[in-house]
């Protein structure tokens, strides 16, 4: 539609619309009274109330009024502008009005939903409406700024979510930087044995995806690397990635592992991180057989060719005391480099996907379960490794004392749903505990006891899975385990007694078992706080990254151009992580393929005639967007750099800086409006 060109000195004609939002607003606010009151205010041409303003007929109502009543300002009193401002701006624009002539009044989140007195809420709705009615005459027609977007994407975290997002984007022809902190991608999923509810092997599904992520021409896979700095904004982020030294030149290593065989340590001697310390590795090692990239690395903490201990800056000094049989074995491939140091890579990307995952709850925080005290108490992830065919025991479930357990207790909700630890349900523990029950029974034919608070098995195929496991003859006991202690009748084998109240039969149970498996919950990564700061994200109170809107923008963040995938946003299973990763990739692609970013025109500018050249604004700008024109002795704002915070505007002693959409006059009229008397 042709834009309406406002005539000079055209009188302001406001259309006011208060939304019922079903009963969300109308239930607490007398919307008819609000509309009636607003109709009496200056410049108001139309004042209406309607059931759902955001619906098509609601928007059509506004558009019709714009056309028929020559409205040139629109005020919609409904929900938060963060939710529907765009909707109403678009509606107004479609009717030919400049979208920035629209103002929203938040009367749902800030009023009807949080107050209990209908009279008070109605008065507040009137006061807030008054503020907007006073504000909009100062609104000006503005244009959306368009900025080009860099098509490259950074993905932080190479678990299943990061891998899936990377492959989706790479397939669409986008260049992806996949940064993983560990030496290999794969994340937690690579450690699992089977996955519920289908019981297909985790690595069988994951390793082809890992391999294609490792070899895809559009993916720069940087493992053993961490993001150290992020600058810029959507469309143009400048990121510094620290590539930590693995003392193996990635491009030259063929993954033959001859260096591992040749190491002066004949036998693996050091705790193997991938197997959670249940197995051993040498100072030079491949994290696990299917590691991607398939490149070995050297642990300078234990390699004889390094001096003991770290330097203050975290680096290690070469001692050259070893025979270096590994270098000999590597031969003319020359892939080993003991003098490798941190390498910093600077990249520019337009969008970022955070897929930094979770950490499992440290069961030592619930000492009554005996984790870390009794050797036969394991956490679930350790058991995954013990029953995994490529694990430290090659799939033979044997205890630390070398015996096969005959009776196993699985404790659900360890660290979850508890005010003393984490209050949330970690969502995956009931199902993985059932899966482990099945696998343990399959591997050892042991009696398996599952102790649960509530059996939570939502999702497609999950309840069926629960029924299947229950029918396999598991003992499913509804009761929280109170204590795990050594069986005093049995001094030798390390047998434990699990004490719990069966809340269905009201009996205290004391069950002797050979092994206790703790169904530990999921927690935000301890580094999440640092990452949050670095990427300017928000976290929920629990420490998970906060999505922009839990229902309508579940993978967006409050920082434009940064998206969330997988467990960094909250506990979820593999199918949900993959689905979310796909969604994040699609959101990133939606930005990239548009080719440009539309920026809110809320930048500041200087009224040169009034600027006294005092320079007080210049040091205040965090984006160095303000410079000083020495010839004219005036400050100058570079609109391309201005992010629209308004800090300089508030500081200008002569009032000669103006922020679009938040002009002084607009704010003053809002203040006047909210404080104006309203009818009783």
Partner 1 sequence: MTRSSPASSGPWTPRIVAFFCNWCTYTAADLAGVSRMKHASNARIIRLMCSGRVDPQFVIDALTKGADGVLIGGCHPNDCHYAEGNYKCLRRFQMLKRMVADLGIEPDRLRLEWISAAEGEKVKRVVNEMTETLTALGPLGIPEKFHEWDREMEHFAQRVAAQEAASGASGCAEHAPQPRTPEPAHA
| Site residues for partner 1 per CB under 8 A | 80-83, 106, 108-111, 113-117, 120-121, 123-124, 127-128, 131, 533, 536, 538-541, 546, 558-559, 602, 620, 622, 643-647, 649-651, 659, 662, 664, 667-668, 670-672, 674-678, 680
Give CA–CA dist 448/477, Å, rounded.
11
- Beta strand pairing call for 496-502 and 507-513: antiparallel
Cβ-Cβ contacts under 8 Å for 301 (sequence gap 6 or more)? 310, 316
Residue 120 CA, chain-centre distance (Å), reads 39
* H-type alpha helices, 446-527: 462-471
Q: How many residues does the chain have?
A: 680
Smallest gap, in angstroms, from Cβ of residue 622 to partner 1? 4
Furthest CA-CA distance within the chain: 97
Give CA–CA dist 104/317, Å, rounded.
62
Closer CB to partner 1, residue 193 or residue 556? 556
Closer CB to partner 1, residue 238 or residue 559? 559
Cβ-Cβ contacts under 8 Å for 34 (sequence gap 6 or more)? 18, 49, 77, 122, 125, 126, 129
3-state secondary structure of 219: strand
Give CA–CA dist 199/425, Å, rounded.
23
Torsion of CA 536, 541, 543, 544, to 10 degrees: -80
Kind and range of the H or E run holding 438: helix 429-444
Closer CB to partner 1, residue 418 or residue 560? 560
Closer CB to partner 1, residue 605 or residue 662? 662
Give CA–CA dist 193/395, Å, rounded.
9
Nearest alpha-carbon partner for 134 in 19, 50, 12: 12
3-state secondary structure of 293: coil
Smallest gap, in angstroms, from Cβ of residue 350 to partner 1? 19
User: For 494, which DSSP code?
Assistant: -
Task: State the helix-helix crossing angle for 160-171 and 202-215, rounded to 10 degrees.
Answer: 50
Nearest alpha-carbon partner for 601 in 167, 119, 78, 99: 99
Cβ-Cβ contacts under 8 Å for 136 (sequence gap 6 or more)? 12, 14, 43, 73, 74, 75, 101, 103
361 touches 523 (CB < 8 A): yes
Output the six-digit token pair for 515.
Answer: 């092994």
Closer CB to partner 1, residue 110 or residue 443? 110
Long-range (24+ apart) CB contacts under 8 A made by 481-486 are 481/369, 481/409, 481/411, 481/451, 482/368, 483/368, 484/368, 484/369, 484/370, 484/374, 484/377, 484/409, 484/411, 484/516, 485/370, 486/374
Closer CB to partner 1, residue 317 or residue 559? 559
Closer CB to partner 1, residue 344 or residue 668? 668
Backbone angles phi, psi at 576, to 5 degrees: -70, -35
Question: In what side-by-side order are the strands of the sheet with 73-78?
Answer: 44-50, 14-19, 73-78, 102-106
Smallest gap, in angstroms, from Cβ of residue 140 to partner 1? 17
Closer CB to partner 1, residue 218 or residue 647? 647
Closer CB to partner 1, residue 455 or residue 678? 678
């Amino acid at each position: 539609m042709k834009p309406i060109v406002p005539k000079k000195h055209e009188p302001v004609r406001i259309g006011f619309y208060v939304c019922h939002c079903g009963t969300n607003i109308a239930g607490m606010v007398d919307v008819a009274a609000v509309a009636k009151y607003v109709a009496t205010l200056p410049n108001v041409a139309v004042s209406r109330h309607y059931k759902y303003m955001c619906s098509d007929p609601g928007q059509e109502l506004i558009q019709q009024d714009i056309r028929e009543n020559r409205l040139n300002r629109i005020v919609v009193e409904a929900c938060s502008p963060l939710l529907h401002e765009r909707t109403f701006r678009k509606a107004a624009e479609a009717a030919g009005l400049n979208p920035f002539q629209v103002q929203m009044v938040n009367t749902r989140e800030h009023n009807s939903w949080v107050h209990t007195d209908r009279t008070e809420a109605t008065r507040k709705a009137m006061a807030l409406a008054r503020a907007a009615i006073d504000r909009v005459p100062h609104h000006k027609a503005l244009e959306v700024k368009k900025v080009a977007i860099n098509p490259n994407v950074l993905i932080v975290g190479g678990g299943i979510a990061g891998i899936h997002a990377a492959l989706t984007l790479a397939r669409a022809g986008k260049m992806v930087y996949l940064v993983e902190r560990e030496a290999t991608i794969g994340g937690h999923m690579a450690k699992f044995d089977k996955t519920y509810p289908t019981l297909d092997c985790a690595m069988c599904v994951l390793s082809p995806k890992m391999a294609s992520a490792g070899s895809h021409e559009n993916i720069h896979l940087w493992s053993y690397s961490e993001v150290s700095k992020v600058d810029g904004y959507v469309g143009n982020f400048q990121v510094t990635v620290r590539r930590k030294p693995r003392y193996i030149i990635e491009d030259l290593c063929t993954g033959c592992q001859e260096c591992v065989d040749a190491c002066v340590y004949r036998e693996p001697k050091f705790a193997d991180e991938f197997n959670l310390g249940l197995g051993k590795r040498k100072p030079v090692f491949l994290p696990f057989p299917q590691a991607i990239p398939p490149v070995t690395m050297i642990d300078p903490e234990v390699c004889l060719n390094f001096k003991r201990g770290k330097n203050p800056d975290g680096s290690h000094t070469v001692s050259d005391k070893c025979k270096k049989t590994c270098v000999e074995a590597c031969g003319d491939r020359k892939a080993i480099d003991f003098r490798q140091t941190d390498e910093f890579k600077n990249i520019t990307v337009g969008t970022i996907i955070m897929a930094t995952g979770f950490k499992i709850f440290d069961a030592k925080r619930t000492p009554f379960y005996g984790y870390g005290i009794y050797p036969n108490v394991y956490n679930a992830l350790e058991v995954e490794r013990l029953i995994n065919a490529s694990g430290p025991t090659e799939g033979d479930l044997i205890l630390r004392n070398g015996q096969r357990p005959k009776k196993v207790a699985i404790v659900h909700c360890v660290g979850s749903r508890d005010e003393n630890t984490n209050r949330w349900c970690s969502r995956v523990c009931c199902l993985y505990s059932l899966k482990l029950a099945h696998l343990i029974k399959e591997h050892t034919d042991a009696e398996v006891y599952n102790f649960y608070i509530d059996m939570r098995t939502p999702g497609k195929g999950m309840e069926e899975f629960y029924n299947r496991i229950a029918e396999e003859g598991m003992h499913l006991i509804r009761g929280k385990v109170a204590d795990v202690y050594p069986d005093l009748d049995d001094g030798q084998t390390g047998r434990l007694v699990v004490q719990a109240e069966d809340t269905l039969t009201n009996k205290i149970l004391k069950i002797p078992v050979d092994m206790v498996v703790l169904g530990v919950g999921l927690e935000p990564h301890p580094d999440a706080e640092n990452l949050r700061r670095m990427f300017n994200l928000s976290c929920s109170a629990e420490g998970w990254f906060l999505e922009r809107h839990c229902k309508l923008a579940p993978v967006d963040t409050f920082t434009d151009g940064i998206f969330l995938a997988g467990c960094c946003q909250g506990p979820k299973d593999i199918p949900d992580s993959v689905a979310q990763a796909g969604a994040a990739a699609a959101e990133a692609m939606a930005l990239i393929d548009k080719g440009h970013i539309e920026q809110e025109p809320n930048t500041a500018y200087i009224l040169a005639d009034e600027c006294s050249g005092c320079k007080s604004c210049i040091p205040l700008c965090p984006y160095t967007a303000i410079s000083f024109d020495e010839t004219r002795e005036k400050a100058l704002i570079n609109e391309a750099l201005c992010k629209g915070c308004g800090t300089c505007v508030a500081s200008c002693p002569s009032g000669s800086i103006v922020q679009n959409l938040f002009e002084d006059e607009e704010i003053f009229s809002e203040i006047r409006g909210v404080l104006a008397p309203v009818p009783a």
